[in-house]
């Protein structure tokens, strides 16, 4: 059933939400104070639409079901679900969310796309903070399935559940972040890698192109299938993660990064290894390896098809 989604702030992330909403057959009402925002928003949706058509549009999905209005209040007045995508400044978001809250229907859900600010602080000036959640997506929002969902101290559990249901209904995979922690889960991982990558450039060790090639042809290919833990589970051979942690764990203490590492206690080893065994669900390492290999062959062909210039490595030598 078509809903009305309000998109507050229409940069890269807001435009991505708008495209996803339209592709799923909803009405989208948007607001952004920047000059030229509407043209940029419509151009971004046009650029995404071909991919969305190939993926399959919902019945009734049309780009002209987007309207841009002149005030936050007007944009949210009729909305069932409101997604805020303002710059990452806590005060600015607090003010905006208070205005959204005051103008929205009482039963509307209000979500923020913040990458890492705490929902308890963002909801501080709202009159109905119980209906507020963080719903943190990943660029391109209209294709990537992950959305991290978390509530603040005053958020009702029902609001978290309802937001997750809504995100599922528009083709996403919500991850409930149960601990209110800055940066949530995915951005902490990304930031860790990102900081190290910046150090490598900063110290003149490698160029951005070399670092990207190292990710594309080395670690990244595996992560897109099975993440970091299950990838290392397979690095341990038949002994899996537990063997891997005991064999390579000491390297965590080597000065390989500018970072500090947690103590590899038996408790932590247990939790990590048990988690991997749960994920493997009784499949043998060999069976997992065969499946990974079949995937990698197809993925490598895809990378070659779409990114032939990433011959970069050859060119740099």
- Within residues 198-257, the interface with a second copy by CB under 8 A covers 198-230, 232, 234-238, 247-248, 250-252, 254-257
12 binds a second copy (CB under 8 A): yes
Q: With respect to a second copy, which residue has the nearer C-beta, 74 or 206? A: 206
268 binds a second copy (CB under 8 A): yes
The dihedrals phi and psi of 245, each to the nearest 5 degrees, come to -65, -40
Long-range contacts of 49-56 (CB under 8 A, 24+ apart): 49/19, 49/23, 51/142, 51/143, 52/19, 52/23, 52/142, 55/23, 55/143
124 binds a second copy (CB under 8 A): no
Annotate each residue in 83-122 with x if it binds a second copy (CB under 8 A) or - if it does not, as one string: ----xx--------------------------xx------
Spatial separation of the C-alpha atoms in residues 23 and 42, rounded to whole Å: 14
Closest contact distance (angstroms) between CB of 182 and a second copy is: 5
Q: Please, what's the b/e burial string for 186-216 (b: 16 or more CB within 10 A of its CB; e: otherwise)?
A: bbeeeeebeeebeebeeeeeeeeebbbbeee
Interface residue with a second copy, options 67, 73, 94, 140 (CB under 8 A): 140
CB-count burial class (<10 Å; 0-12, 13-18, 19+) for 279? middle
CA-to-CA separations, 17 to 239, 296, 316, in angstroms, rounded: 43, 30, 38
Interface residue with a second copy, options 183, 240, 246, 266 (CB under 8 A): 183
Q: With respect to a second copy, which residue has the nearer C-beta, 65 or 279? A: 279
25 binds a second copy (CB under 8 A): no
Spatial separation of the C-alpha atoms in residues 299 and 281, rounded to whole Å: 24
- Within residues 278-297, the interface with a second copy by CB under 8 A covers 278-279, 281, 286, 289-297
Concatenate the DSSP letters of all residues of 7-33 into one string.
EE--SHHHHHHHHHHHHTT-EEEEE--
Q: With respect to a second copy, which residue has the nearer C-beta, 71 or 88? A: 88
157 binds a second copy (CB under 8 A): no
Q: With respect to a second copy, which residue has the nearer C-beta, 74 or 214? A: 214
Q: With respect to a second copy, which residue has the nearer C-beta, 77 or 185? A: 185
Closest contact distance (angstroms) between CB of 128 and a second copy is: 24
Residues in the annotated binding site: 9-14
Residues in the annotated binding site for NAD(+): 9-14
């Amino acid at each position: 059933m078509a809903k009305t989604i309000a998109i507050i702030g229409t940069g890269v992330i807001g435009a991505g939400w708008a495209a996803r909403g339209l592709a799923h057959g909803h009405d989208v009402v948007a607001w952004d104070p920047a000059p030229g925002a509407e043209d940029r928003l419509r151009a971004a949706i046009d650029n995404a639409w071909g991919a969305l058509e190939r993926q399959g549009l919902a019945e009734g999905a049309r780009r002209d079901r987007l309207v841009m209005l002149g005030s936050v209040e007007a944009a949210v007045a009729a909305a069932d679900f409101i997604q805020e995508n303002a710059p990452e400044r806590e005060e600015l978001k607090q003010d905006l969310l208070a205005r959204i809250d005051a103008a929205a229907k009482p039963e509307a859900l209000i979500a923020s796309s913040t990458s890492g600010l705490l929902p308890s602080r963002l909801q501080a000036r709202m009159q109905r903070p119980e209906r507020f959640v963080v719903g943190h997506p990943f660029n391109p929002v209209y294709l990537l399935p992950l959305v991290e969902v978390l509530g603040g101290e005053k958020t009702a559990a029902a609001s978290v559940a309802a937001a997750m249901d809504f995100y599922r209904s528009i083709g996403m995979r919500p991850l409930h972040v149960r601990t209110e922690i800055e940066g949530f889960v995915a951005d902490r991982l990304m930031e860790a890698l990102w900081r190290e990558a910046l150090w490598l450039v900063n110290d003149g060790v490698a160029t951005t192109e070399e670092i990207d090639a190292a990710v594309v042809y080395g670690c990244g290919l595996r992560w897109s299938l099975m993440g970091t833990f299950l990838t290392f589970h397979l690095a341990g051979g038949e002994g899996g993660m537990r063997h891997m942690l005991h064999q390579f764990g000491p390297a965590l203490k080597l000065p390989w990064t500018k970072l500090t590492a947690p103590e590899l206690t038996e408790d932590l080893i247990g939790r990590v290894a048990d988690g991997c065994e749960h994920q493997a669900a009784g499949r043998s390492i060999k069976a997992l390896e065969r499946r990974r290999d079949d995937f990698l062959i197809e993925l490598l062909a895809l990378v070659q098809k779409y990114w032939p210039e990433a011959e970069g490595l050859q060119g740099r030598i």
